[in-house]
């Protein structure tokens, strides 16, 4: 019952969050230098031609009128059309969403599995393994993403052609090629996040091992295996689950860069191109989709945390 209450509260907060994000995005996009008419017509267009295009697109109206018009359509499921291709924004986003979700969530799975495993092993064994984790984590979090991605492409796609240089293959076409097309971008995107998650996991486990209640369990003759699986891992899982929810936001931002580097036609690439061309309906649509993904992930995170620790009252 408490989990349902948590879920209901988060859903209610999601509505004003979407509203605020859409307003901020609309306002920031309108402040970008340049204008749509100049992008469409080029630098040689006359002021009269630019004014005509601006009027046809409704961009001569006050900003609040443009926003309310967009919002009215969005509430009915219509995100408008691209000012360049006249394609439905919803259709453009839906065709590119699988690319971004495949990249982001495959990376998330890799981060959680490797981060938790490495963190737990270093906390249990300590010594040299913990020092190696510290050193490699520092290196992983210090390497610039663009440099690391370039090196991976040169080594594993050009010098040793194990994986494709660029592009994305849909899962329905070939699961094997789908996985191969994601290996390098996932590896590049996950490296620093795995390091951070592993350090967090180890820190939580070490703190729990040193806590008074674990010392009391040992004094009462509880087996080390039982202490590890029934108490230490469970207590360490809560903060790691919360960090995983925050990690999704970071990964979504990282997909924008990785999609451009690896030539993947996802939401990130679409957002960059739309921003360069001042295609406001597309920009708004991408932000709304990203926000919805973050909201869903945060809902799952809150429910998972409440299930792990029912005593915690989530406000």
Range of weakest confidence among 183-192, 217-226, 306-315: 306-315
CA atoms 296, 288, 21, 23: torsion sign: negative
Report residue 314's pLDDT band, with 50, 70 and 90 as the boundaries.
Answer: very low
| Mean pLDDT, residues 270-292 taken together | 89
In eight-state DSSP terms, residue 167 is: -
pTM of the model: 0.84
| Mean pLDDT, residues 285-297 taken together | 89
| Residue 233: predicted pLDDT | 86
Report residue 312's pLDDT band, with 50, 70 and 90 as the boundaries.
Answer: low
For a pLDDT cut of 70, what percent of the chain falls above it?
Answer: 95
| Residue 189: predicted pLDDT | 92
Rounded to 10 degrees, what is the CA torsion of 166, 81, 95, 7?
Answer: 120
Phi, psi (5° rounding) for residue 259? -65, -40
Burial class (CB in 10 A: 0-12, 13-18, 19+), 153: buried
Rounded to 10 degrees, what is the CA torsion of 244, 246, 248, 253?
Answer: -150
Average of per-residue pLDDT values in the chain: 86
What is the DSSP track for 35-70? -HHHHHH-TT--HHHHHHHHHHTTTTS-HHHHHHHH
* Other CB atoms within 10 A of residue 75 CB: 8
Per-residue model confidence as pLDDT tens digits over 75-114: 888 888 888 888 999 999 999 999 999 999 999 999 999 9
Using the predicted structure, report yes or no on whether residue 196 has a pLDDT greater than 80.
yes
Dig out the tokens for 45 from the structure: 């267009």
Strand, helix or coil at 223? coil
| Residue 269: predicted pLDDT | 92
Using the predicted structure, report yes or no on whether residue 278 has a pLDDT greater than 60.
yes
Report residue 304's pLDDT band, with 50, 70 and 90 as the boundaries.
Answer: confident
Report residue 6's pLDDT band, with 50, 70 and 90 as the boundaries.
Answer: low
């Amino acid at each position: 019952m408490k989990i349902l209450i948590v879920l209901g509260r988060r859903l209610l907060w999601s509505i004003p969050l979407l509203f605020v994000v859409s307003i901020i995005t609309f306002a920031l996009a309108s402040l970008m230098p340049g204008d749509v008419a100049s992008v469409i017509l080029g630098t040689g267009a006359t002021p009269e031609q630019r004014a005509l295009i601006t009027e046809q697109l409704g961009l001569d109206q006050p900003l609040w009128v443009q926003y309310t018009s967009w919002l009215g359509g969005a509430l009915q499921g219509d995100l408008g059309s691209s000012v360049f291709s006249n394609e439905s924004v919803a259709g453009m986003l839906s065709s590119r969403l699988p690319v971004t979700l495949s990249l982001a969530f495959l990376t998330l799975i890799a981060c959680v599995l490797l981060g938790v495993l490495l963190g737990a092993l270093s906390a249990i064994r300590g010594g040299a393994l913990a020092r190696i984790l510290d050193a490699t984590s520092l290196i992983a979090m210090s390497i610039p993403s663009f440099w690391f991605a370039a090196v991976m492409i040169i080594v594993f796609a050009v010098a040793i052609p194990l994986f494709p240089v660029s592009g994305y293959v849909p899962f329905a076409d070939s699961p094997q090629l789908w996985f191969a097309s994601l290996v390098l971008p996932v590896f590049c995107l996950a490296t620093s996040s795995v390091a951070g998650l592993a350090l967090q996991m180890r820190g939580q486990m070490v703190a729990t091992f040193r806590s008074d209640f674990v010392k009391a369990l040992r004094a009462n003759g509880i087996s080390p295996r039982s202490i590890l699986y029934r108490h230490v891992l469970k207590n360490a899982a809560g903060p790691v689950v919360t960090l995983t929810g925050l990690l999704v936001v970071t990964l979504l931002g990282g997909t924008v860069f990785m999609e451009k580097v690896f030539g993947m036609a996802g939401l990130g690439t679409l957002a960059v191109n739309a921003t360069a061309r001042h295609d406001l309906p597309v920009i708004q649509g991408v932000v709304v989709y990203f926000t919805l993904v973050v909201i869903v992930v945060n809902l799952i995170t809150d429910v998972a945390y409440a299930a792990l620790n029912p005593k915690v009252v989530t406000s």
